[in-house]
Structure 1
Amino acid sequence: MPWHAHLSLDYHHRTGRTAAHFTHDGPLRVLRSLYPEGPTICHHVLVHPPGGLVGGDTLDIQVHAGAGAHALVTTPGATRFYRSEGEPALQRTRLRLDAGARLEWLPLEAIAYNGCLARNQLELDLAPGAELLAWDITALGLPHAEAPWLRGEFLQHMEWPGRWLERGLIRADDGPLLDGPLGLAGQRCLGSLVFACGSPLSRARREQVQEATHALLASHPQGPWCGVTSPNDHVLVLRGLAPLVEPLMQLWQQVWALWRRLLWEREAPLPRIWSM
């Protein structure tokens, strides 16, 4: 029987503290609130005890950050899309930020297992003054385990209506896309890191971040496979490819820390769960 799980996270800011309330239905929840940076930033680890999705499963995640709140949400491990015999598996995440809110959406990677039919959707809604740092990393198959991705499809959809849209369908039998020089060029891990702002970013602020990111990429072995752009004055996007998850995740953590310092003047202590 398919799993249908729902989690709703609501953050609010009062008297110098970000607090959270959540409701859930099915095997999807968060662990206790953590404050490693002090009371203004609430950290949560989102857990899905079954550990993966098969055909017909749905994970529905809604996160709301109220005015002035600041939250960071991550996961303890990868989201696994297993082999499906008929219906696709769906993970749908909706992030809504009120004026002046900040949210960091930093889940670990999604893995497409051989034979999966996967749908991974991220939807954004930002009020003026709200700011979001979010990433998405996808691995196609398990190269270390000699389990390549030979069958199935993975649909990635990321959207901020009226501001930004990226949608891509990858099929395991699409050789030109997977291996061609204008596609993934044989790489099997792809990622995006996004900074979205409800109010327009100044040109000076965007250029500062882009120049610093270019310098970091130039010094990293995976840098030639990555690029940062600003499709409009509300969005910065870093995209990259790698043969495996590890080099891209390590680079994404470095860029996240850089953007956090430049955009918010905050250091970026790594969540402890990433080291476990």
Structure 2
Amino acid sequence: MLHVAATSGGTRIADLFQAAPLRWLFPDVEADEPKPGALVNVAGGLAGGDSLEIALHVEAGAAFTATTPAAEKLYRSLGPSTVIRTQVQVAAGATCEWLPQETILFDQARLDRRLTLDLEAESRLLAAELLVLGRAAHGEQVSGGSVLDAWRVRRGGRLIWADALRLADPFRDAADRFALAGANAAATLLLAAPDAAAHRELARDCADGAASLVAPGLLVARWLGEAGAVRNALGAAICRLRTAALGHPPRLPRLWRT
């Protein structure tokens, strides 16, 4: 659990509780960037039966970027799912980026991931998730397993958007015919801001048209394709939208670049 708050000297840690295998690390702040936090899995990967709970609260007036130092890996499971529950709360007047690097599923991995975003009035959030099936550089194929990857977005306590990707055996049938159209990577980028509609055309340009205003103040863009191409497209969109909508420099968080 991490709370960050605005002070006269900038955004600071207000409260922190952490337990293995997750640790928050706080790199130096780059010029013109919000305070960064890196969520590290010291175990190096996740297996069936592992369960993680992540809570981030960005208090009024604070600005914070949450990311990860590397891709998360989900290994083969003999039955139980890997469960990940993440809740991000962004208070009035706060700005938050939730930008972890990709999650890579190995063959027969089982993922149950739910991301809940709770926003107050006048808050701003840019959030992304990238799911990759197998390590393309190793020629890996994912032929079985399961995925439940769900988003819930609330503004002022009211649900404004809900979405879920579900894949189960026969896995390749579900992925190829119904969900991913043969792609091995899928990315979602969400912008929640009072003026999100003003950035719709920019988002559509970044996502080849696959972006829409799904609710007042909520813009969603998506990509499907080869993992490297999807990661590059997502990264380019993050750079452009974080500048246009949040006023941050047009670059990825440092850990994405190292």
TM-score when normalising by structure 1: 0.86
Amino acid at match of 2:99: L
Q: Do structure 1's residue 23 and structure 2's residue 17 form an aligned pair? A: yes
Residue type at the aligned position of 2:56: V
Could you tell me which amino acid in structure 1 is paired with residue 152 of structure 2?
E
Query: Which residue, out of 230, 233, 258, partners 1:251?
Result: 233
Note the alpha carbon deviations across 1:35-57, whole angstroms, 9 max, x for none. Answer: 1135x721111111111111111
Query: Cα deviations across residues 126-149 of structure 1 (Å, max 9, x unaligned)?
Result: 111111100000011223212210
Is 1:228 matched up with 2:211?
Answer: yes
| Cross-structure match for 1:3 | none
**SS of aligned partner of 1:250:** helix
Report what 2:56 is aligned to. Answer: 63
- Secondary structure, in 3 states, of the residue corresponding to 1:258? helix
- Counterpart code for 2:147: F
Distance 2:140 2:86 in 1: 28
Match of 2:179 in 1: 183
Is this contact kept in 2: 1:45–1:74, CA < 8 A?
yes
Superposed displacement of residue 174, structure 1: 3.8
The 5 Å alignment of 1:1-276 reads: 8-20=1-13, 21-38=15-32, 41-161=34-154, 162-180=159-177, 183-197=179-193, 201-202=194-195, 206=197, 208-217=198-207, 223=208, 227-244=210-227, 246-276=228-258
Q: Secondary structure at the match of 1:52?
A: coil
Maintained 8 Å contact 2:145/2:171: no
CA distance in 1, matches of 2:206, 2:23: 35
Query: Residues of 2 paired with 1:238 and 1:148: CA distance?
Result: 26
Q: Percent identity among equivalent residues?
A: 27
Contact 2:56 2:88 in 1 (8 A): yes
Once residues 71 and 34 of structure 1 are traced to their aligned partners in structure 2, the CA distance between those partners, rounded to angstroms, is: 13
Q: Which moved more, 1:263-272 or 1:99-108?
A: 263-272
| Counterpart-to-counterpart distance in 1, 2:164 and 2:179 | 14
Encode CA deviations 1:100-158: one digit per residue, 9 max, x unaligned: 11110100001111111111110011111111100000011223212210111011011
What letter matches 1:178 in structure 2? A
* Matched-pair contact (CA < 8 Å) for 2:112–2:147: yes
Aligned positions, number: 253
Structure 1 SS opposite 2:223: strand
What SS class does the counterpart of residue 25 from structure 1 fall into? coil
Aligned equivalents of 1:42 and 1:160: distance in 2?
23
Query: Are 1:163 and 1:234, in contact at CA under 8 Å, matched by a contact in 2?
Result: no
Q: Conserved in 1, the CA contact under 8 Å of 2:95 and 2:246? A: no
Contact 2:47-2:76 within 8 A present in 1 as well = yes
Equivalent position amino acid for 1:82 in 2: Y
3-state SS, counterpart of residue 221 of structure 2: strand
Output the amino acid matched with 1:139: V
Separation (CA, whole Å) in 2 of partners of 1:89 and 1:70: 30
Give the direction of change, closer, same or farther, for the CA distance of 1:78–1:239 in structure 2 (3 Å limit).
Answer: same
- Given that residues 149 and 172 in structure 1 are in contact (C-alpha distance below 8 angstroms), is that contact kept between their aligned partners in structure 2? no
Q: CA 1:44–1:240 in 2, change beyond 3 Å: closer, same or farther? A: same
Asked whether the equivalents of residues 18 and 24 of structure 2 are also in contact (C-alpha less than 8 Å), the reply is no
What's the RMSD between the two structures over aligned residues? 1.8
The answer (yes or no) to whether the contact 1:101–1:131 under 8 Å persists in 2 is yes
Report if aligned partners of 1:34, 1:44 keep a CA contact under 8 Å in 2: no
Query: Which residue type is aligned with residue 229 of structure 1?
Result: S
Question: Structure 2 regions of 5+ residues with no counterpart?
Answer: none
